[in-house]
Amino acid sequence: MARHLPPVYSPVGLGAIVSSVFSRRESSHTQLIGLLGDHFDAEHALLTGSGTQALQLAISAALSEGAPVALPAYSCFDLVSAAVGARAPISFYDIDPQTLTPDLDSLERCVSEGARTIVAGNLYGYPLPWSELRKIAAHHDAILIEDAAQGLGSIGQGTPAGKAGHYTVLSFGRGKGWTGGGGGALLVGGGLDVPSLPPGTAVSRLRPAATSLAAWLLGRPSLYGIPASIPQLALGETVYHPPRAPGSISTFSAALARRTRAASVDAIPLRREQARRWAQEILDRDPNGDRILPCLPIGDFDSASSLRFAVRLQGADLTSDTWDRLRRHGVESGYPVPLPRLPEAWGLFKGDPTAFPGAEALSASLVTLPTHSWVRDVDRTTVLDLLTGSAS
Ligand SMILES: Cc1ncc(COP(=O)(O)O)c(C=O)c1O
């Protein structure tokens, strides 16, 4: 089987998966909640069936009568799903395509026009300007929901991800740095409404256990070509999933997330180093950014957790053959459309879906590069040859 890099890699060992299959519910939940309390200073932690469910609960709890929730115009489609599940009116703010951070003028506009809940989330481990975001929220008496699904390990203006919002959302799902094979968490700060979950709503442990086992077995360069070649798995595709009623995390995912925490933290320094190498090699090859413009983290690379390295392609479209070759080196395109253009958002969003130039630019040009431990010099060379049109 030809070498095929997965786009992301969340460290997990077979021993952790097997032990988690046999874990007991009470102790798994208690231990993960204890760990979250220790690491993120949360007053309360709720373990949910997914990050999307945690976000839906946070939006429902934070929403003030009739006021919209402000969402980034460029992010994972699950943000719209959560707002739809919470039946929240939506306003969108734009994203700065150079740093993948909120366009603060655009966000100010949302809150000036009435939004009283702000969702701000890291993309690909790029840090966010939390001091400024908190200032805007405080000035308008708005609740700040931190979506840290892709952000753990980043530090934005001195604030570590996971500690930045009134409410914070975590995900232990696929493609994030910290895996439980599924599940999520909602961290709630002091003095805020704490949502509750209906009893008896835990996800079955079978599915996350099977997913984790498959990821452990096939998520390596020698075998990843197998799942990547099965169209039904839709790996790497961005699909809208309708919201589900929030429920509790599976016992398996709670147990596995606790066991993979240390490895997920240990993986970050190497990812940062890989991101630095991408940035340097792109600069060496294309100093004027004629073909490839890197997105650079605010602060520096030490403040990013570099789940992926993001670049914007200038000019020529890539052929499908070039895309096939890029994917074999772990390259993926970004989200295909800005969130305001998703038809599912239209019943809740009353503005102009085309009015977000940063999000439009990102959906047209963003490509993300892998930063995990399997990326070698030859991958970088081949990818940059393909992206600059110098590949044979
Ligand atoms: C930025 C962001 N927020 C929230 C979510 C939702 O997390 P989950 O997949 O656990 O529902 C995702 C999932 O990809 C995400 O990328």
pLDDT tier at 114, thresholds 50, 70, 90: very high
How confident is the model over 19-58, as pLDDT tens digits? 999 998 889 999 999 999 999 988 899 999 999 999 999 9
Q: Quick check: is 8 in a domain?
A: no
pTM value is 0.96
Which H or E run includes 90?
strand 90-93
Q: Is 360 in the pocket of ligand 1 (CB under 6 A)?
A: no
The SS3 call for residue 383 is: helix
**Whole-number pLDDT of residue 219:** 87
Whether residues 321 and 237 share a domain: the answer is no
- End-to-end, the C-alpha distance of the chain in Å comes to 22
Question: Nearest-CA neighbor of 279 among 268, 290, 287?
Answer: 287
Does the C-beta of 119 come closer than 6 Å to ligand 1? no
Q: Output the pLDDT for position 147.
A: 98
Closest atom, ligand 1, to C-alpha of 147: 3
3-class secondary structure, 262: helix
Dist CA 257 CA 36 (whole Å): 10
Kindly give the distance from the C-alpha atom of residue 241 to the centroid of ligand 1, in angstroms, as a whole number. 11
**Would you say residue 203 has pLDDT above 80?**
no
Dist. CA 144–CA 164, nearest whole Å: 8
The proportion of the chain whose per-residue pLDDT surpasses 70, expressed as a percent, equals 99
Does residue 269 register a pLDDT over 90? yes
243 pLDDT more than 90: yes
Please indicate, yes or no, whether residues 343 and 242 belong to a single structural domain of this protein: no
Q: Are residues 239 and 287 in the same domain?
A: no
Is 252 a residue whose pLDDT tops 80? yes
Residue 206: its pLDDT value, please?
A: 87
Spatial CB neighbours of 179, under 8 Å, sequence gap ≥ 6: 10, 11, 12, 172, 173, 212, 215, 256, 257, 260, 264
Residue 392's pLDDT band (boundaries 50, 70, 90)?
Answer: low
Strand partners, 49: none
CATH of the domain at 313: 3.90.1150.10
**Final residue in a domain of this structure, among 260, 280, 296:** 260
Q: Are 226 and 340 within one domain?
A: no
Is the predicted pLDDT of residue 368 greater than 80, yes or no? yes
Examine the domain organization and report whether 302 and 323 are in the same domain: yes
**Predicted pLDDT at 322:** 95
* Residue 284, both tokens: 């060496």
Say if residue 85 is in the same domain as residue 145. Answer: yes
Mean model confidence pLDDT for the chain: 94
Ligand 1 proximity of 122 Cβ (cutoff 6 Å)? no
Residue 234 pLDDT: 73
**Is residue 237 one of the residues assigned to a domain?**
yes
Distance 169 CA to ligand 1 centre (A): 9
Examine residue 4 and state whether it is found in any structural domain, yes or no. no
Q: How confident is residue 357, by pLDDT bands cut at 50, 70 and 90?
A: very high
- Give the pLDDT confidence of 279-324 residue by residue, as tens digits: 999 999 999 999 999 999 999 899 999 999 999 999 878 899 999 9
**pLDDT, average across residues 167-176:** 94
Question: What is the span of the domain harbouring residue 308?
Answer: 268-388
Q: What CA–CA distance (Å, rounded) separates 97 from 74?
A: 10
Higher-confidence residue: 233 or 69? 69
Regarding whether 302 and 175 lie in a shared domain, the answer is no
Question: Is pLDDT of 236 > 80?
Answer: no
Q: Domain tally for the chain?
A: 2
Compute the distance between CA of residue 349 and CA of residue 277 in angstroms, rounded to an integer: 41
Q: What does the pLDDT average to over 270-277?
A: 97
Ligand 1 atom with minimal separation from the 174 CA: 9
pLDDT band at 151 (very low <50, low <70, confident <90, very high): very high
> Cβ contacts of residue 27 below 8 Å, gap of 6+?
none
Specify the DSSP class assigned to residue 36.
H
30 and 170 together in one domain: yes
Secondary structure (DSSP) of 147-160: E-TTTTT-EETTEE
Cβ of 75 closer than 6 Å to ligand 1, yes or no, is yes
Residue 9 domain-assigned?
A: no
* 66 and 177 inside one domain: yes
Question: In 3-state terms, what secondary structure has residue 295?
Answer: coil
Q: What is the pLDDT of residue 238?
A: 85
Determine, yes or no, domain membership for 2: no
DSSP 113-141: TT--EEEEE-STT----HHHHHHHHHHTT
Distance CA 260, CA 170 (A): 14
Band of pLDDT at residue 81, cut at 50, 70 and 90: very high
Supply the CATH number for residue 190's domain. Answer: 3.40.640.10
Dihedral angle computed from the Cα positions of residues 99, 150, 344 and 60, in that order, rounded to the nearest 10 degrees: -110
Question: Per the domain annotation, does 300 fall within a domain?
Answer: yes
Q: Is the CB of 78 under 6 A from ligand 1?
A: yes
Mean pLDDT over residues 255-281, rounded? 97
Q: How far apart are CA 204 and CA 196, in angstroms?
A: 19
Asked if residue 182 and residue 52 are part of one domain, the reply reads: yes
Which of 242, 260, 278 is the C-terminal boundary of a domain?
A: 260
pLDDT score at 390: 74
Query: Does 377 lie in the same domain as 301?
Result: yes
Closest ligand 1 atom number to CA of residue 172: 10
Does the beta carbon of 47 lie inside 6 Å of ligand 1? Answer: no
